[in-house]
A and B are shown apart, each in its own frame.
Chain A
Amino acid sequence: MMSYVLEARGIGKHFAGVQALDGVSFGLCQGAVHAVVGENGAGKSTLMKILSGVYRADAGEILLDGEVVEIADPSAAEASGIAIIHQELNLVPALSVAENVFLGREPTRFGFIDRRKIERDAGALLDRLGHRLDPRRTVESLKVSDQQVVEIAKTLSLNARVLIMDEPTTALAADDVERLFGIIRTLVSAGASVVYISHKMDELFRIADEFTVLRDGKMIGHREANETTPNDLVRMMVGREVSYTRMDVEARSGEELLRVENLSSHEIDATGRRRLTDIGFSLRTGEILGVAGLMGAGRTQLLESLFGVHETTNETRITLNGKPRTIGDPRAAIKAGIAFVPEDRKAQGLVLDMNVCDNITLARLERFTRFGFVQERREERAANEYVQRLGVRTPNTRAPTMNLSGGNQQKVVLAKWLLTSPKILLLDEPTKGIDVKGKAEIYRLIEELAASGLGIILVSSELPELLALSDRIIVLHEGAIAGTLERSEATEERIIELATIGDEETREVA
């Protein structure tokens, strides 16, 4: 049997009653690139944080070169030669490349930083990576891919033997990905080992030697790269029984409510791509349209663009009830009958300092205003009505929203929007951070609203939820639609395939 550089045995981790990891084992060979894959929330990040000393495991042990070690904190991990490169880079933008590489460990001469030495050493490290970069340039003047190289050089300077990379290509353009892979190969051939986390199947198969698949905090399996396929891995990642089934499945197709054509974002992301390109779909009354995609695929961007938060290009056509409309800002969207429940309830959905009633009426306060004055009695009555209708559990409508549970807060947000009598409801991760019971209530509400004739667009990372609720699902991949699945053909595997690999046909055309 091969000996492992780094090995985890039976790792378990609890978070406030949730079993994030349960008996996970994993071994990293010398000079290998080992990919850890799994859906959002499968436990990849938790495992990496345990290996790099950010969290401590509740159960299990970690072995380094066959010896059991305690990794108490990140500096202990560093001392053992384990370094992690996070998705968000950890650099000081205003300092130079050399200063960043040696940040906190600057060699000094007579109390002054020995600038020439760090520049020389940083240059040598960059040369080892085969990457030409002036060590005196400030990090902020570099493009993202070069910043990543700086981060890697930093780990080299720490003499790291194990390098953990968390979604390193999210912000990279295609040729930069190629360069990164070149660097990884250089490192590996020099004896380092890499743990690589990514969603992107095509990339994984180009760089990884072996795979470990996690699902719901458990280890599902281990595969060598040459004995598996992307589809095989996807099956392993999903394979979960659906926990919720929709009550009535009969088709609820009404007339067309919304038609979107050629929707493209004005904004351009770090890789030079538009955040959304050429999105087109339609929504009928009573329909729940699911939107799936990986993180960063443009799901939230799509909802926010429809709600007038982001600018779209001139080619974008939006038709509401058969009439063309331009939606410049949220006010216009609300006027047009669109409501938006954002992903971050506390930062975007609610005004936490205000009470339940004030939050419920915020988007439609003019209905309760006469000559500028708020008619509190009428306002209160309306708020009470919605509190009862949606079953918000609150002592009264004057209680602060801050103290409500996540599920009840979300109901307050829903109540706010229902009060505007919308025709279209945009939901962004509506059950995020809500407990099981709360989720079931929100599902019931969504179904009732659809039944009452609203058109609903639902974004969710929880595939069972999406599959159970949606009449149709569009899958986004890198800002474009990779495929549209009817209810009958939608499966978790198919969605993950489209979301991770993209649409094969369009890929070839492009």
Chain B
Amino acid sequence: MTLLGERRIGRVKLSQLQAFLGLIVVFILACVFSPVRRGELIFLDPGNLTDILRQVSEKGIIAVGMTFVILAGGIDLSVGSVLAFAASLSAVMLMRGGYGTPETLLAVLAAGLLIGAVNALVITKGRIQSFIVTLAMMSGARGLARLVSGGSGVEIGYGAGGAPQSFSVLGGKLGQFVPVPALIFLATVAIAWVGLNKTRFGRYVHAVGSNETASRLSGVGVDWVKFGVFSICSLLAALAGIIHCAQLEQGNPNDGVAYELDAIAAVVIGGTSLSGGTGTVVGTLVGTLIIGIINNILGLNNVDANVQLLLKGIIIIGAVLLQRRG
């Protein structure tokens, strides 16, 4: 075996391949249980497949950010609230502030970055566990969201006196099939993959997550790495919030509840260890898709809501077991 060949295998961890196994099984199950119309599986309809991508894109983007944090050995519970804050701030700036799309995007992303920076600062300087700090931020960011919006949803309207049409692109489609949110999600995955696998920062994230002491003793700026991952996570939550606002034509401060749990679930189903160090963003993509496909196929079959919850729980555990076995 050549060195180069081995390298690739060395990089792609076994657990990742197993995560694909879970996706493949769920995909096959979806095909089997798909309703049929004129001899064709509705599940496999290109429109339906892109629907799934669109539906998972917000939580998927959040899960990518969460992957950074979990890899570095932390957790971020504030992402759902940050999404709500970002969505509300976007709507308020566009509709009440009269700002254009670029200014709004910049301001909202900067606000997201700032929230992440605050999280990181308290975690590293205050020596407090990320669970506690981000739990507090979960409440804090929700409060901010309600404050900027005045408590209830702010509708986005286009045209005179409303938001610029360019904003709608973020929630729309390219051509017939390709939803823009899905493209942004996939781009996020690609950039995150490069960031985690090809850069010094990415190497340090893995190092800090699997052995903080050894990393510190090797001169790795552990606090900077944590600062980086929490900033990235909040930034991506804010990006998801902007897309949320564009997709729903509304910035609602009460949205995004429990999104953090969905994101964590996607990361874990994707094979990333909650104790940090090992895992991949490709796995997170897989985990996100597994959850998306489950939701879609249950919806296509109009399964009773209570049964849906039950089945979803069973399938998620099944997927995780499949990914662990080997």
Contacts and interface: CB of A to CB of B under 8 A. Distances in A.
A–B contact (CB under 8 angstroms): yes
Interface of A: 307, 309, 330-331, 333-334, 340, 342, 347-355, 358, 362-363, 365-366, 369, 372-374, 376, 380, 396, 398-399, 416
B201 interface: yes
B10 interface: yes
A358 B203 contact: yes
A96 B221 CA distance: 42
Contacts, number: 79
B217 A307 contact: yes
30 contacts: A309-B217, A330-B218, A334-B218, A334-B219, A347-B211, A347-B213, A348-B213, A348-B214, A348-B217, A350-B211, A351-B206, A351-B210, A351-B211, A353-B206, A353-B277, A358-B203, A358-B207, A362-B203, A363-B219, A363-B220, A366-B200, A369-B200, A373-B198, A376-B198, A380-B3, A396-B3, A396-B6, A398-B3, A398-B10, A416-B218
Interface residues of B, number: 26
Interface of B: 3, 6-7, 10-11, 198-201, 203-204, 206-207, 210-211, 213-221, 277-278
Contacts of A366: 200
A354 B218 contact: no
A200 B274 CA distance: 46
A424 B19 CA distance: 46
A374 B219 contact: no
Nearest to B215: A351
Nearest to B211: A351
Contact of B211 (A353, A365, A373): A353
B214 A398 contact: no
Contacts of A350: 211, 214
Contacts of B215: 351, 362
B205 to A, nearest CB: 11
Given A309-B217, A351-B211, A351-B215, A398 B198 contact: no
A355 B13 CA distance: 12
A340 B218 CA distance: 9
B206 A398 contact: no
Nearest to B273: A353
A373 B193 CA distance: 12
A148 to B, nearest CB: 30
Contacts of B217: 307, 309, 330, 340, 342, 348-349
A374 B211 contact: no
Contacts of B220: 362-363
Nearest to A353: B210
Contacts of A342: 217
A353 B279 CA distance: 11
B213 to A, nearest CB: 5
Nearest to A333: B219
